Structure 1
Amino acid sequence: MLTFKPLTNNAVLRKSPKSMVSSLSEWFWNERLWFPEGLGWADLEDKDGRVYAKASDLWVVLPIALAFSFPHLSNLLVATPLAAVMGVKEKVRLIVSHNPTLESFYCNTTKNPSQSSIDSLCKQTGCSERQVQGWFRRRRNQDRPSLLKKFKEASWRFTFYLLAFIAGLASLIDKPWLYDFKEMWQGFPILTLLPSQYWYYMIELGFYVSLIFSVASDVKRKDFKEQMVHHMATIFLISFSWCVNYIRAGTLIMLLHDSSDYLLESAKIFIYAGWRNTSNYVFFLFAAVFIFTRLYIFPFYIIYSTYIYPMTMYSPFFGYYFLNLLMMVLQCLHIFWAILILRMAVRFLSSDEKVEDERSDKEETDESGEEEEGVEKKGAVQNGHAAHNNHRKTE
């Protein structure tokens, strides 16, 4: 008769942290997860002058990302001269008068007080409701990025995306998989790594990692969470495709994204410079390229090729499903942004307004400078100036 002796200690808990990490690493790098049956890491070892992508190569991304996180050289060589040529200047913003009670509530509670909170603050400061609302409106405007900062950020990204698109096109123009997507999988995963592919990958990945590093200083958008999901999905997709040698598919996906990104940043540049007609034309060009590449080429050609063609050569494996899952995450984000783009386009065509970025946090209009004067007379603010000159809405 078989008897079972209960374990007094959980075997998993008895494992040392080092052994647990080792077990996790062993599971993660299991070639049965990432490669078709009969193929593995041994097939990607350098030999006979043929070089293959390796996970250890990704360490190069960190110094590249760090360099991209401080685009001072781009600002000096591109953004600053371009701003001078296009007439974009730094506007002096008057600082809202300091009020300890309102400032404490603004910093520690919320930037957008409810009606009940406004009533309470009126009692504490002796100000009217309009005066308190005006103070918070001007205080929020004070925290918003200046027009010149947004112009420099757009100029920096325009420079990168344009150069990345040109570099990617140059590295792929003579490759057969640019014209026939079936070629992406010919010989997979034993695909030789080319120097152009190496640098294209490292620079692109370094740039997207830098976007995570610089998130605290970048201009905040309404789709901030979606942007972060996009950046993380892109980083995982690029890194994953590198480690398991989906290099050909990866280069096509990066080129596809770069083809419209630089147009969006150029449209922003013209908006910030006040070139209304030019920004409108560039925006519609961007919208056309975005919809064609992200809602037609990407799902019906790229995703189709990653979902259908591998199954004609191999049995399904985990890496195949994981790749297509990441692709679908990107496609969902493409649809989300396409809705925003179409909404902007429809609004422009129906009202003949200036095209503006739906994701931007617009500056609020200050209705009356008298509010600030009233606050000062009641002693609610001290030693400051009202920031009531920013009447113009900026994107």
Structure 2
Amino acid sequence: MAYFYKKFVDTFWSEYIWLPPNVTWADIAPDASKEVQHADHRHLFYPLPMSLFLLLLRYVLEKYWFAPVGISLGIKNSRPKKAPENATLEQAYAQSKKWKHKQIQGLAKQVDMSERQVERWLRLRKSQNKPSTLTKFCENSWRCLYYTFSFAYGLTILWHKPWLWDIMECWNGFPHQSVTNDIWWYYMISMAFYWSLCISQFFDVKRKDFWQMFIHHIATIVLMCLSWVVNVFRIGTLVLVVHDCADILLEAAKMAKYSGYQRICDVIFAIFTIVWITTRIGIFPFWIIKNTSYDAPKVVPMFPAYYIFNSLLVLLLVLHIFWTYLILKIAYNSLNAGQMEGDIRSSSDDYSEDSNSKSQ
């Protein structure tokens, strides 16, 4: 058994797959050179316990800071009214959350209720699991705080890095590039945050694009781990800083909406839309992906892992295009309604239903 495990590990971590031609694992080991401090793959385990710390920090901030602020802004923490207990209807609800008219007719006869009463029970049952506005405000406040910190920290440390101003510097001396302490912390904290999102997503406000978001988080983590292992972290830092700036505005717009400041929400949303399209549909594909797909192969020997790395970047772009469609759809509806309707990108069920009912 040990033989097969070793065989599998050796095959999986083949230098032919993961490293450029004529480069070995020993060449990029942490202690391989006194002049270059290579990335240490063993450090990829650090974000896991760090993610638990972030979850604890989030809990403390939401309870003792975000919630009191939300209440002071007039946000209510009331829960929806619960549906009356009914074993027959509850069993039918467990099997399907959407009932056709024939099902409602049949259930009405079974429980000796009118069709209107059954429909009311279904609406109450759907709404009772939805989080309060204060809960959603706290969640967005945490994300807004993190993205603000991440973007500010990332931009600060990258300001004096040559590859921010000349992206071809990402490949100068590759793969023998040193990981400085500021880059190390930037990567570790970012990976810890995305690990925490993978965990908290199962307990947070339920989103209609749950699996798209989950794929996004996993793709981001895999992308960061891969770029760390093969020393492509310079491109990784650019991807992070380009992504974080729009997310600040996204969460801020939601916070303003939940707080009842609709005009502020509309202004932030308009700025967010411009920044999102500029960074996710403009800078990301035409600066970063263009470099990794077209420019880098001219100066760097290609290897299999590089194509995996680039494919994940393209996967992120596909998700961006999907979310851009949703954002533009909301923007169009907002212009017709005179205000932002629904939630943005990761819309919750209650907001989506509310938006649909207003458009009908």
Normalised to the residue count of structure 1, the TM-score between the two structures is 0.85
Alignment partner of 1:218 is 2:204: yes
Provide, for residues 329-364 of structure 1, a one-character-per-residue CA deviation record: whole Å limited to 9, x for no partner: 000000000111111111112331334315221269
User: What is the rounded CA distance, in whole Å, between the counterparts of 1:148 and 1:80 in structure 2?
Assistant: 7
Partner of 2:21: 37
Instruction: Report which of the two has the higher share of helix.
Output: 2
Q: How does 1:3-18 map to 2 (within 5 A)?
A: 16=1, 18=2
Amino acid across the alignment from 1:91 = S
Partner of 2:350: 362
Count of equivalent residues: 351
Structure 2 counterpart SS, 1:322: helix
Provide, for residues 37-58 of structure 1, a one-character-per-residue CA deviation record: whole Å limited to 9, x for no partner: 1122222122326422121101
Q: How does 1:368-383 map to 2 (within 5 A)?
A: none
User: What is the rounded CA distance, in whole Å, between the counterparts of 1:179 and 1:305 in structure 2?
Assistant: 13
Provide, for residues 98-143 of structure 1, a one-character-per-residue CA deviation record: whole Å limited to 9, x for no partner: 1121122223x11222223212211111111111011001110111
Higher mean Cα deviation, 311-320 or 206-215?
311-320
Partner of 2:312: 326
Amino acid across the alignment from 1:360 = S
Provide, for residues 236-258 of structure 1, a one-character-per-residue CA deviation record: whole Å limited to 9, x for no partner: 00111011111100111011111
Alignment partner of 1:276 is 2:262: yes
Higher mean Cα deviation, 345-354 or 196-205?
345-354
Amino acid across the alignment from 1:153 = E
Provide, for residues 63-91 of structure 1, a one-character-per-residue CA deviation record: whole Å limited to 9, x for no partner: 11112234212214531232134221212
Of 77, 93, 103, the match for 1:90: 77
Amino acid across the alignment from 1:183 = E
Alignment partner of 1:130 is 2:116: yes
* Cα pair 1:226 1:333 within 8 Å, conserved: yes
RMSD, aligned CA: 1.9
Q: How does 1:1-395 map to 2 (within 5 A)?
A: 16=1, 18-45=2-29, 46=31, 47-48=33-34, 50-70=36-56, 71-107=58-94, 109-357=95-343, 359-362=347-350
User: What is the rounded CA distance, in whole Å, between the counterparts of 2:172 and 2:84 in structure 1?
Assistant: 67
Normalised to the residue count of structure 2, the TM-score between the two structures is 0.93
1:365 is displaced (CA, Å) by 9.1
Structure 1 counterpart SS, 2:328: helix
* Cα pair 1:279 1:355 within 8 Å, conserved: no
Provide, for residues 153-205 of structure 1, a one-character-per-residue CA deviation record: whole Å limited to 9, x for no partner: 00111111111111111110100100110011101000001001111101100
User: What is the rounded CA distance, in whole Å, between the counterparts of 2:301 and 2:231 in structure 1?
Assistant: 18
User: What is the rounded CA distance, in whole Å, between the counterparts of 1:68 and 1:238 in structure 2?
Assistant: 18
User: What is the rounded CA distance, in whole Å, between the counterparts of 2:78 and 2:276 in structure 1?
Assistant: 33
User: What is the rounded CA distance, in whole Å, between the counterparts of 1:21 and 1:289 in structure 2?
Assistant: 48
Residues 117, 226 of structure 1: alpha-carbon distance in 2 compared, 3 angstrom cutoff: same
Provide, for residues 276-295 of structure 1, a one-character-per-residue CA deviation record: whole Å limited to 9, x for no partner: 00001001111111100010
User: What is the rounded CA distance, in whole Å, between the counterparts of 1:363 and 1:289 in structure 2?
Assistant: 23
User: What is the rounded CA distance, in whole Å, between the counterparts of 1:289 and 1:208 in structure 2?
Assistant: 22
User: What is the rounded CA distance, in whole Å, between the counterparts of 2:152 and 2:65 in structure 1?
Assistant: 17
| Larger Rg computed on CA atoms | 1
* Cα pair 2:36 2:176 within 8 Å, conserved: no
